């Protein structure tokens, strides 16, 4: 039986942030995640590092938290942040009266808003609609959710943190109204085991209600699904928000070579209801035309969806009517000591949420070490000498991309792989500049059990071809390295391609249909992964 002081449930941004904070304060902790890290909401959103402007009018406290954490994350997680800045643009369809309310609200919570002329905005972002009426600059930024989660894990591991993925909670063990352990199930093997612990922190997002129910406690979390569209190029170099009360389809966020448009809001019954549909895509395109008139001429890569874990003491407050703030629930008040849930919040405020939860836990554990997560960088900067070394082995721009994904320690290991076998500098994913050596490094991590786990660590398959070419290359690399989970290549192909298909299906028209036929030709026609061809008759 494993033993630890604290078990953290949930491998999204909040969970890994709590793991990092606990471990930095010297508390022994294990994190459990039912799938892969960053599988849920932390990777299924638009990737906006909020200035707080979106919430300033309706939810001033959330707006204040966002601008403060925005400033912190730009420093400690700068390798995950692209400092794009943002525009709030009022279109010809939007209420002019709201503009004044918004400016006053932003000023009250400390969000800087700089007015610029429409002419200047169009010069900076020529794809914007010329019908826009007014524009303000705000300190929004783009943030890579996958990278932020993994860098928190890297930091936590440095302080002794442990992570178990593909592990579900089967029961919460307690004695005399005090937590004493947790029963878990490995979803890959079915094995059930126990972990002895003194404290449990549920940071399970939309699943927080289900976790609490295992202890007979009610937590009112309403999953709210948001659908988004990824386009294959940068429609805009800056985040563009529509200047109106928060609604559907009013945020465009550039990420690397793509742009994400989001999001919708629909209450759902299940936390894992994350399958987008064509109707939602069309609605987003219709709304997005107010900011970018030519939106229908831009090539879509995929649609995807996640569920927001909205919490409210009022069960009737759903969707955009619920606060985007967060709440820490100490279940000692419900009769069970050593159990805490954190619900609500935003990705932008994950570090603050983790700090508040860890303060509470450390108070019970009598740990006096102060929080340092706001001042200590997630990963060390890559030295100029290491970067110079990396440029000898990576293609143009590839060294910087690899360094940002891997950090100094991981980059050193990947370079060593290439030095030992130069052929491993081969690109398996041209879209994201991912080498064979990086794929091997990600595949060898203790949390990798399938190709999609490698994808989330490297961004392989997330570019223009959506896995059409890098899937067979990456499967080949896994097979060649003899990894125990990589023996059935047919299963690897299908798992990875099915994940890509889930996001392509809702946009299956025009050029997307043609490109899907190419992928089908490669994997079904040439490689015969469905076994439809009688090989003996060839």
Span 490-514, pLDDT tens digits: 888 888 888 888 899 999 998 888 8
Q: How many CB atoms lie within 10 A of CB 316?
A: 7
> What's the confidence (pLDDT) of residue 320?
43
Res. 323: pLDDT tops 80: no
Computed over every residue of the chain, the mean pLDDT equals 91
Percentage of the chain modeled with pLDDT above 70? 96
- Tokens matching residue 304: 């995807």
DSSP 275: -
Res. 451: pLDDT tops 60: yes
> What does the pLDDT average to over 367-394?
95
CA 163 – CA 32 distance, rounded (Å): 6
Q: How many CB atoms lie within 10 A of CB 74?
A: 16
CA 138 – CA 57 distance, rounded (Å): 15
> What's the confidence (pLDDT) of residue 499?
85
The pTM assigned to this predicted structure is 0.92
- Tokens matching residue 109: 């919570």
Res. 218: pLDDT tops 90: yes
> What does the pLDDT average to over 434-451?
90
Are the C-beta atoms of 37 and 19 separated by less than 8 Å?
no
- Tokens matching residue 416: 């060593």
Q: Helix 13-24 and helix 145-158: axis angle, to 10°? A: 20
Which helix H or strand E contains 71, and what residues bound it?
A: helix 60-76
> What's the confidence (pLDDT) of residue 301?
93
**Which residue spans within 4-138 are E strands per DSSP?**
6-9, 29-32, 48-49, 81-82, 86-90, 114-116, 134-138
Q: Residue 494: which residues within 8 A CB-CB, separation 6 or more?
A: 529
> What's the confidence (pLDDT) of residue 515?
86
pLDDT-derived band at 395, boundaries 50, 70, 90: confident
Q: Residue 214: which residues within 8 A CB-CB, separation 6 or more?
A: 169, 171, 172
Q: What are phi and psi of 431, to 5 degrees?
A: -60, -40
Cα angle 257, 262, 267 (rounded to 5 degrees) comes to: 145
DSSP 380: P
Structural domains present in the chain: 2-40+146-220+322-365 (3.50.50.60), 82-141+222-311 (3.30.9.10), 384-507 (no CATH)
User: Alpha helices of 347-397 — where are they, by DSSP H?
Assistant: 350-365, 384-390
Secondary structure class of 136 (helix, strand, coil): strand
Q: How many CB atoms lie within 10 A of CB 120?
A: 12
Q: Helix 350-365 and helix 60-76: axis angle, to 10°? A: 90
Dihedral Cα 160, 326, 309, 89, nearest 10 deg: -110
Res. 463: pLDDT tops 90: no
pLDDT digits (tens, 9 = 90+) for 147-190: 999 999 999 999 999 999 999 999 999 999 999 999 999 999 99
Q: Residue 95: which residues within 8 A CB-CB, separation 6 or more?
A: 244
Res. 434: pLDDT tops 60: yes
């Amino acid at each position: 039986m494993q033993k630890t002081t604290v078990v953290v449930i949930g491998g999204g941004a909040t969970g890994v942030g709590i793991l990092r904070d606990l471990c930095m304060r010297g508390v022994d902790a294990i994190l459990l995640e039912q799938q892969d890290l960053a599988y849920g909401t932390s990777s299924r959103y638009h990737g906006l590092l909020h200035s707080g402007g979106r919430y300033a009018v309706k939810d001033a406290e959330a707006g204040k938290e966002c601008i403060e954490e925005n400033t912190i994350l730009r420093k400690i997680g700068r390798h995950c942040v692209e400092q794009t800045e943002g525009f709030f643009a009022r279109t010809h369809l939007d209420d002019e009266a709201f503009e004044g309310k918004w400016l006053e609200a932003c000023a009250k919570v400390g969000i800087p808003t700089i007015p610029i002329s429409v002419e200047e905005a169009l010069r900076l972002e020529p794809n914007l609609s010329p019908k826009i009426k007014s524009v303000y600059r705000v300190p929004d930024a783009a943030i890579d959710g996958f990278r932020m989660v993994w860098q928190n894990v890297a930091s936590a591991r440095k302080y002794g943190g442990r992570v178990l993925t593909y592990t579900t909670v089967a029961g919460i063990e307690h004695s005399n109204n005090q937590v004493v352990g947790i029963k878990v199930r490995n979803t890959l093997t079915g094995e059930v085991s126990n972990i002895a612990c003194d404290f449990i922190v549920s940071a399970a997002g939309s699943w927080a209600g289900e976790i609490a129910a295992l202890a007979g406690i009610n937590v009112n979390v309403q999953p709210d699904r948001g659908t988004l569209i990824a386009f294959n190029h940068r429609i805009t170099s800056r985040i563009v928000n529509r200047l109106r009360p928060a609604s559907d389809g009013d945020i465009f966020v550039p990420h690397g070579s793509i742009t994400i448009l989001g999001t919708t809001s629909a209450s759902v019954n299940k936390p894992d209801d994350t399958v987008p549909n064509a109707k939602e895509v069309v609605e987003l395109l219709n709304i997005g035309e107010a900011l970018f008139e030519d939106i229908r001429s831009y090539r879509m890569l995929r649609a995807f969806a996640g569920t927001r874990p909205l919490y409210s003491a009022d069960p009737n407050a759903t969707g955009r009517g619920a606060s985007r703030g967060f709440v820490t629930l100490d279940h000692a008040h419900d009769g069970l000591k050593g159990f805490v849930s954190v619900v609500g919040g935003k990705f932008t405020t994950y570090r603050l949420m983790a700090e508040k939860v860890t303060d509470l836990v450390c108070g019970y554990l009598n740990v006096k070490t102060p929080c340092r997560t706001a001042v200590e960088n997630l990963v060390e900067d890559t030295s100029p000498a290491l970067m110079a070394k990396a440029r000898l082995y990576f293609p143009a721009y590839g060294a910087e991309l690899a360094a940002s994904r891997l950090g100094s320690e991981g980059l050193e290991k990947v370079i060593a792989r290439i030095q030992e076998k130069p052929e491993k500098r081969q690109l398996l994913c041209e879209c994201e500049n991912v080498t064979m050596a990086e794929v091997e490094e990600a595949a060898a991590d203790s949390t990798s059990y399938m190709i999609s786990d490698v994808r989330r660590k490297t961004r392989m398959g997330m570019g223009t071809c959506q896995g059409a070419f890098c899937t067979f290359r990456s499967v080949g690399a896994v097979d060649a390295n003899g990894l125990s989970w990589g023996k059935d290549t047919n299963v690897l192909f299908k798992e990875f391609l099915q994940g890509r298909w889930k996001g392509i299906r809702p946009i299956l028209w025009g050029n997307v249909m043609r490109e899907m036929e190419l992928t089908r030709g490669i994997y079904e026609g040439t490689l015969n992964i469905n076994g439809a061809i009688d090989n003996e008759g060839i």
